[in-house]
Amino acid sequence: MKEASFELRTAMEAALRPLGITITHYSCLELLGQRPGSSNSDLARGAFVTRQSMNTLLQALELDGLVVRPETAAVGRVLPAELTDKGRRQLAEASAAVAGVESRMLSGFSADEKAQLTLLLSRCAAALSDA
């Protein structure tokens, strides 16, 4: 699993590089695409980075016009982030690049093997979440 994870990450980095983004950048956009209004802390947890690193990334994404956050928090200190139209376009490009990697990774599997792999990986995830 470790070797497959390494190769997947390497292939994703190569696919995203021409778009000028990193895997963490893509992860942030993907998380915001799935859960608009996420907080810095939620995004950091989802992308496996520190809150400080995510805050730096969000500031850069704001400067690039990909993400918007309110100037002040409505409640507490949370500044919910959302994708802009430009951010959604970049996410769509990046998602297509990542889908190409996934397609290449699974190209040698039959439909039954893909279903079995999905089942086995789901069981791995469930076993870890039960711990």
Which CATH code fits 2-130?
Answer: 1.10.10.10
Which phi and psi (to 5°) does residue 48 adopt?
Answer: 60, 45
Cα 62 from Cα 128, distance rounded (Å): 35
- Write down the pLDDT at residue 118: 95
- Rounded to whole angstroms, how far apart are CA atoms 51 and 44? 5
Q: What's the rounded Cα separation, in Å, for the pair 109 and 96? A: 20
What φ, ψ does residue 67 adopt, rounded to 5°?
-140, 145
Domain boundaries, the chain: 2-130
**Looking at the DSSP assignment, which residues form a beta bridge with residue 67?**
83
Q: What is the pLDDT along the chain (131 residues), one digit of tens a residue?
A: 899 999 999 999 999 999 999 999 999 999 999 999 998 899 999 999 999 999 999 999 999 999 998 876 666 667 789 999 999 999 999 999 999 999 999 999 999 999 999 999 999 999 998 76
pTM for the whole structure: 0.87
Which of 59, 38, 40, 60 is CA-nearest to residue 51?
40
